[in-house]
Amino acid sequence: MDMDSDIRTYPDIGYRAFGNKGRMLVSVVMYVELYLVATGFLILEGDNLHNLLPGAGFEIAGIRIEGKQMFVILVALIILPSVWLDNLSLLSYISASGVLASAIILCSIYWTGAFDGVGFHQKGTPLNWSGIPTAVSLYAFCYCAHPVFPTLYTSMRNKRQFTNVLILCFTLCTVCYASMAVFGYLMFGENVQSQITLNLPTEKLSSKVAIYTTLVNPIAKYALMVTPIVNAAKSWFPCQYNKRLSGLLVSTSLVFSTVSVALVLPFFASLMSLVGAFLSVTGSIILPCICYLKISGTYRRFECEMVVLWGVILMGFVVGIVGTYTSVMEIIRQL
């Protein structure tokens, strides 16, 4: 972006490096990742609501719908009107409360362990080698915000603070992730589930606070996640089409399609591991390095920087291939 002031988004970087093919590749990786994260939100909601209300269900036209499937469908219907909105400024403010929500969840889980009888006494295998590919894929998913960095940089009033912002964000995220991992291991050991809220005793107030806070976040963020996909899809329609009508059609179809995927693949951890291994590694590790090598011309010079970047790219390919294979096999095993 320092070399070309016309670059404002991540796809622009792909275009600057490799032309239209680069823009297309970056865009596809971004949009598929956003789509699967939105799908993960629905699975997350279904799992936690089913944990709170295990016996809920209803019948339509002689068809009985219950359990996680019912809650996924109900949450999608609740979310649907927010996806129809053209002005998402209100939702952006709600979504920005995610930092506070994360702190509330972390504190509630600590309170459950320290003061509500769960304790921090469980033990397990400290290092499980067979779980390393999944763990690394999930780590990649947790740190996959790189595609939004160009937009964040251009929106900043004082761009000199960009590095400080990144350091602060990554530090806070790391502390939050590490704390949650330690709490989960000490509270539930090897029995901890893919979502720690599924382990919490639902009769405790602190547990309910953690679970309900977890439920609010995806509802607020779903529309923001799928809006870039909707806008991209609307651009495919000819100019004479009613933009409002085409937007409603695309957004509604998108929600229904994520519901279908969530019902067919209701495996939160495995799906997020697949996203991390295949898409997050590609979008946040491999593509930025390759684009930088091409734009800067570093690939022409045998220097320490080039060696480090190619090492990062090689590491990304290894994590991507191994993690994707492990995640896909895990999903197949659970089907």
Buried-exposed string 147-164: b where 16+ CB fall within 10 A, e elsewhere: bebbeebeeeeeeeeeee
Average pLDDT over residues 218-230: 84
pLDDT in tens, 81-91: 988 877 666 66
> What is the pLDDT, as a whole number, of residue 279?
94
Over the stretch 187-197, which tens digit does the pLDDT of each residue have?
A: 999 889 988 99
Tell me the percentage of the chain whose pLDDT exceeds 90.
50
| H or E stretch covering 3 | none
How many helices and strands in the chain, by DSSP H and E?
13, 2
Question: What is the pLDDT, as a whole number, of residue 323?
Answer: 94
Do the beta carbons of residue 316 and residue 299 sit within 8 Å?
no
Q: Where are the beta strands (DSSP E) in the chain?
A: 57-60, 63-66
**124 with 185: CB under 8 angstroms?**
yes
Picking from 132, 127, 149, the residue whose alpha carbon sits closest to that of residue 292 is 149
Which tokens is 216 given? 């609010």
pTM of the model: 0.87
d(CA 150, CA 133): 29
Q: Which domains does the chain have, with CATH numbers?
A: 10-334 (1.20.1740.10)
Q: What is the DSSP letter of 55?
A: T
pLDDT tens string 36-70: 999 999 999 999 998 888 877 777 766 777 788 89
CB 97 within 8 A of CB 219: no
Per-residue pLDDT tens digits for 99-158: 788 889 999 999 999 999 899 988 888 788 888 999 899 989 988 878 878 878 887 888
Average pLDDT, the chain: 88
Question: CA-CA distance, 36 to 25, in Å (whole number)?
Answer: 17
Closest CA to 84 of 226, 242, 248: 248
Share of the chain above pLDDT 70, in %: 95
Q: What token pair was written down for 56? A: 């809920």
Would you place residue 19 in the very low, low, confident or very high pLDDT band (cuts 50, 70, 90)? very high
